[in-house]
Amino acid sequence: MKATTRIYLDAMMQNIKSVAFFTYLGVLIARLGATDFQIALSNSLPALFCALSLAFLTRQLPVTRGVFLTSGYVRQIAFICMALSVLLPNPLPALLVFWSVNAVAVIVTSAQQPAIMRRVIAPEQFPALFSRIKMIALFITTFGGLLIGYALDASDSYFPYNYVASMLVGCLATFTGMSLIAGMAPREKTTIRLARIRPFRECDRNIWWMALNNAGIYMTPSLFTIYHVKTLHLTNTQIGYFVVTAGVVSALALPLVRRLMEKFGTFKLYSASLLGMALCAFPYGLIDAYPLLVVAQAWTGFMLAVSEVATQTMMMEEAGKHKAEMAYFSDFQLVMQLGMAIGPLAAGALVTAMPLWACFGVVALLRLAILFSRPLLPGRKARRPEQETAGLATRRG
């Protein structure tokens, strides 16, 4: 099987997992009686354990089929335990514990997968590859999100068993995708020696800035869940339509975005997507008309899709400039996960101190401040990807 075919099939499986397992997990946690802070903690704790894994474990593991598969097996067991923990009398503590265990394992495969891909895919293919992967994701999340949301609402009399069934489908999908990528990993056997390490050695100003932006991005999902489920009492199907509209808009616009990325550079499109998301967050807590919510979610989802494609592309473009490639991938993922962990905790603290509508406004202002703070950040300056390309062309000329 061709390497690109494996990558695209894995993207399909991982997005089936995302839809079946995670799209409505926040809704489930809220319906299980979680407080606002517990909802924020459920978004933060997995990312925190991902960061710990990246800081002290992931970078020390060799990129081999055995390591990739072992982490995949641990991830799969944790997924199944997460799904079954919903059936316990007090499910939230067990759910968060197994989610944290899963995070430690999943980040190993997430950090190793780019290194595996760089062995079989030419660098100039990455923008097109990630755009197609995102198109696959949009197609599956668009139709799968609505289908599963409708199925969960139709089977609501069986709550929470209907959520457990959906999560088990996600377990099967993620294991299938992981097996496809493992087939491309080197089969060599390497002795694993754990030692003291210094994280963040491959971080530059751009990476820290992107991590801060990631923290801002992940402040809003918790607020969305609280507003949609606990304030507006939206159904799974109504939330599913958010996914559908965002997916349709993104699918139609991403080919144009890819051309704009090639023309103006990845960095500028990334910055524009951050600005678009921040402006949309300003009035969100004051909107209660469902059609307006659909429009706002479609815009936010599209901007998020652009930022994800740009982030992946910049990560792969910058990797060639680092001799310690695995350390670079680990550091990059580490600071991104730290941002994902800090963002929900900050949102949880905000929501305990002020009204929800004010929280959205504060988050939007903070995200704008981060966006324009890049020149002020400490650390060595990193060249933009398009600047590096221009420099290479000048030297060759």
- 379 sits in the region (left: phi over 0; alpha: psi -120 to 50; else beta) called left
pTM above 0.75, yes or no: no
pLDDT (0 to 100) of residue 383: 47
* Averaged confidence pLDDT in the chain: 82
Taking the C-alpha atoms of residue 136 and residue 173, their distance in angstroms, rounded to an integer, is 15
Taking the C-alpha atoms of residue 378 and residue 66, their distance in angstroms, rounded to an integer, is 39
Nearest to 101 by CA among 64, 69, 73: 73
pLDDT (0 to 100) of residue 194: 63
Percentage of residues of the chain with pLDDT beyond 70: 90
pLDDT (0 to 100) of residue 369: 93
Residue 382, pLDDT > 70, answer: no
pLDDT (0 to 100) of residue 391: 41
Residue 300, pLDDT > 80, answer: yes
Lowest mean pLDDT among 3-7, 129-133, 214-218, 391-395: 391-395
Please give the distance of CA 161 from its chain centroid, rounded to a whole number.
26
Nearest to 70 by CA among 189, 167, 164, 170: 189
Selected residue with higher pLDDT from 123 and 350: 350
Q: What is the CA radius of gyration of the chain?
A: 20
Mean pLDDT for the stretch of residues 256-260: 79
DSSP tag of 382? -
pLDDT (0 to 100) of residue 385: 43
Selected residue with higher pLDDT from 353 and 56: 353
Cα–Cα distances (Å) from 298 to 131, 142, 215, 281, 345, in that order, read 18, 11, 21, 12, 25
Selected residue with higher pLDDT from 374 and 380: 374
Contact 176, 44 (CB under 8 A): no
pLDDT (0 to 100) of residue 368: 93
Taking the C-alpha atoms of residue 322 and residue 114, their distance in angstroms, rounded to an integer, is 14
Selected residue with higher pLDDT from 134 and 102: 102
Instruction: Please report, in angstroms and rounded to a whole number, the separation of the first and last CA atoms in the chain.
Output: 40
pLDDT (0 to 100) of residue 325: 67
In the chain, the domains with their CATH numbers are 3-185+202-396 (1.20.1250.20)
Structure tokens at 45: 């704790």
Summarize pLDDT for 348-378 with one digit per residue, the tens: 889 888 999 999 999 999 999 999 887 766 6
Summarize pLDDT for 89-116 with one digit per residue, the tens: 889 999 988 988 888 888 788 777 877 8
pLDDT (0 to 100) of residue 161: 92
Residue 290, pLDDT > 80, answer: yes
Residue 227, pLDDT > 90, answer: yes
pLDDT (0 to 100) of residue 392: 35
Taking the C-alpha atoms of residue 149 and residue 310, their distance in angstroms, rounded to an integer, is 29
One-character DSSP codes across 85-123: HTTSSSHHHHHHHHHHHHHHHHHHHHHHHHHHHHHHS-G
CB count in 10 Å sphere of residue 106: 24
Taking the C-alpha atoms of residue 79 and residue 175, their distance in angstroms, rounded to an integer, is 10
pLDDT (0 to 100) of residue 366: 93
Mean pLDDT for the stretch of residues 317-323: 70
Taking the C-alpha atoms of residue 127 and residue 266, their distance in angstroms, rounded to an integer, is 9
- pLDDT bin (cut points 50, 70, 90) of residue 204 is confident
Selected residue with higher pLDDT from 360 and 236: 360
pLDDT (0 to 100) of residue 364: 93
Lowest mean pLDDT among 200-204, 303-307, 335-339, 369-373: 200-204
Taking the C-alpha atoms of residue 15 and residue 194, their distance in angstroms, rounded to an integer, is 33
**Single-letter code of the amino acid located at 278:** A
Q: How many residues does the chain have?
A: 397
Mean pLDDT for the stretch of residues 149-163: 91
CB count in 10 Å sphere of residue 301: 23
Residue 394, pLDDT > 50, answer: no
- pLDDT bin (cut points 50, 70, 90) of residue 144 is confident
Taking the C-alpha atoms of residue 349 and residue 340, their distance in angstroms, rounded to an integer, is 15
**Single-letter code of the amino acid located at 161:** Y
H-helix segments, the chain: 3-17, 25-31, 36-56, 65-85, 91-120, 126-154, 161-182, 205-217, 220-225, 236-264, 266-281, 290-319, 325-351, 356-371, 385-396
pLDDT (0 to 100) of residue 396: 39
Residue 59, pLDDT > 90, answer: no
For residue 218, the surrounding DSSP H or E stretch is none
Selected residue with higher pLDDT from 271 and 323: 271
pLDDT (0 to 100) of residue 320: 65
- Residue indicated by tokens 């599956």: 140
Contact 184, 4 (CB under 8 A): no
Contact 104, 117 (CB under 8 A): no
pLDDT (0 to 100) of residue 259: 80
pLDDT (0 to 100) of residue 390: 41
